[in-house]
């Protein structure tokens, strides 16, 4: 077996950026305006500030990892399902009803508020496919996302490298939060901004980059003997895909990953849909990214905003939990099966996500004449303001 099983990606971006070092005593230095710290510059946060003091579980048995790998595989038929297909499934649907069937309830909650959209990519905007490099969204889905962004601030929050997910979506008017929210970039270009080509970036784990590269190279060497295994470099995190690995080889794959990670106690392992995620043990995730973007847009602790987060993966639960804890907005889980979640509503597949986005656009396009253009002007003004602040540093 050669190393042709391994996916190699380059997520570097040759964009000139300003680098600001954050204070050790606070996330943002009082001397730095929050909007600037949020989107007007490239922020490097000390990893001493962010490293969690908890057991990363690296000493857990490989068999436990394999059990978790099985639990994260939606296509696998379980002999003892965690949620029966009868009464408990009906109960689950009652607790997480269809966002389409309850669309009017969601719209009613948005009255007088600004909707802000957060969207996962894989399994939400695109189907889950065997080859992660082929996870293309449909033309119709791209149009739906583009139309939503005309009316509402919209962010893609993905475990993918930020540049990679942008290459899939290719809509410049969106916010992109890659590497599970550790790498954030605002809209990079707007025709009404004089300085519209400036980059607006936040990075929460830049000090870990050399370590991530080391582990990436080590994993390529270790798993090259396992057919179907793929390592994806997502800049601030790594993804070990086992969708195409025979289940009999899962234990061997888990052992190989364990051996590599045993030398890196500042990295942790989490699991998604047929993927092992390796990322820094820092207090940052998709939930933190959601809060960060809301604050950047001026909606921190605001009663005038309704965040809606749509995602399908375990990592999206961090965002769902934030919304539920704050009693603000709605999380929408994309899943065909009943599973534990903090989301308020559910959708079954990307096609239903597309329909939900279209309904939002149709609802908002019914605004009184002139209000649509005012929203676009407000959005343009915010982007230009942030970019102007950025350019002064």
Residue 131 annotated in active site: no
Residue burial 75-84, b: 16+ Cβ < 10 Å; e: rest: eeeeeeeeee
Find, among 167, 176, 132, 133, the residue nearest to 275 by Cα: 132
Chain-centre distance of CA 29, in angstroms? 26
Helix (H), strand (E) at residue 221: helix 209-223
Q: Rounded to an integer, what is the distance from CA 23 to the centroid of its chain?
A: 26
296 vs 299: CA distance, rounded Å? 7
Angle at 165 between CA 159 and CA 168, to 5 degrees: 140
- Are 159 and 179 in contact by the 8 Å Cβ rule? The answer is yes
Q: Strand order of the sheet with strand 201-203?
A: 19-21, 42-44, 201-203, 183-185, 175-178, 154-157, 114-119, 305-311, 330-334, 345-347
- The residues near 28 (Cβ < 8 Å, ≥ 6 apart) are 22, 34, 37, 38, 43
Residue 264 half-sphere exposure, CB side, CA atoms within 13 Å? 23
139-151 helix and 371-391 helix, angle to the nearest 10 degrees: 90
Q: How far apart are CA 377 and CA 371, in angstroms?
A: 10
228: left (phi over 0), alpha (psi -120 to 50) or beta: left
Catalytic residue among 71, 120, 131, 194: 120
Is 231 strand, coil or helix?
strand
The two tokens of residue 260 are: 């590599």
DSSP classification of residue 22: P
CA distances from 231 to 8, 218, 277, 355 (A): 7, 10, 10, 33
Give catalytic residue positions: 120
């Amino acid at each position: 077996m050669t190393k042709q099983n391994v996916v190699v990606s380059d997520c570097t971006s040759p964009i000139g950026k300003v680098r600001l070092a954050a204070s050790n005593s606070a996330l943002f230095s009082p001397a730095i305006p929050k909007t600037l710290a949020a989107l007007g510059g490239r922020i490097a946060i000390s990893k001493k500030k962010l490293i969690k003091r908890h057991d990363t579980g690296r000493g857990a048995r490989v068999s436990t990892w394999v059990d978790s790998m099985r639990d994260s595989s939606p296509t696998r038929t379980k002999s003892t399902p965690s949620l029966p297909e009868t009464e408990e499934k009906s109960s689950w649907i009652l607790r997480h009803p269809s966002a389409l069937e309850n669309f009017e309830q969601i719209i009613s909650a948005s009255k007088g508020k600004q909707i802000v959209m957060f969207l996962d990519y894989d399994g939400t905007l695109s189907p889950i496919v065997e080859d992660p490099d082929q996870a293309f969204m449909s033309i119709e889905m791209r149009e739906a996302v583009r139309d939503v962004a005309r009316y509402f601030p919209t962010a893609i929050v993905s475990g993918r490298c930020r540049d990679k997910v942008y290459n899939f979506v290719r809509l410049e008017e969106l916010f992109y939060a890659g590497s599970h929210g550790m790498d954030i970039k605002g809209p990079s270009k707007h025709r009404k901004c004089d300085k519209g080509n400036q980059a607006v970036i936040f990075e929460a784990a830049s000090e870990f980059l050399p370590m991530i590269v080391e582990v990436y190279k080590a994993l390529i060497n270790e798993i090259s003997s396992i057919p179907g295994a793929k390592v994806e470099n997502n800049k601030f995190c790594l993804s070990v895909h086992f969708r195409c690995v025979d289940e009999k080889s899962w234990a061997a794959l888990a052992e190989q990953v364990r051996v590599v990670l045993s030398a890196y106690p500042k990295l942790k392992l989490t699991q998604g849909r047929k993927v092992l995620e390796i990322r820094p043990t820092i207090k940052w995730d998709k939930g933190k990214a959601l809060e960060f973007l809301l604050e950047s847009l001026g909606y921190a602790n605001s009663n005038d905003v309704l965040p809606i987060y749509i995602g399908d993966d375990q990592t999206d639960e961090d965002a769902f939990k934030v919304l539920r804890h704050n009693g603000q907005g709605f999380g929408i889980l994309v899943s065909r099966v009943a599973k534990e979640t903090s989301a308020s509503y559910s959708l079954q597949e990307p096609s239903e996500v597309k329909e939900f986005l279209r309904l939002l656009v149709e609802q908002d396009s019914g605004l009184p004449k002139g209000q649509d253009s005012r929203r676009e002007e407000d959005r343009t003004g915010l982007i230009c303001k942030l970019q102007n602040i950025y350019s002064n540093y």
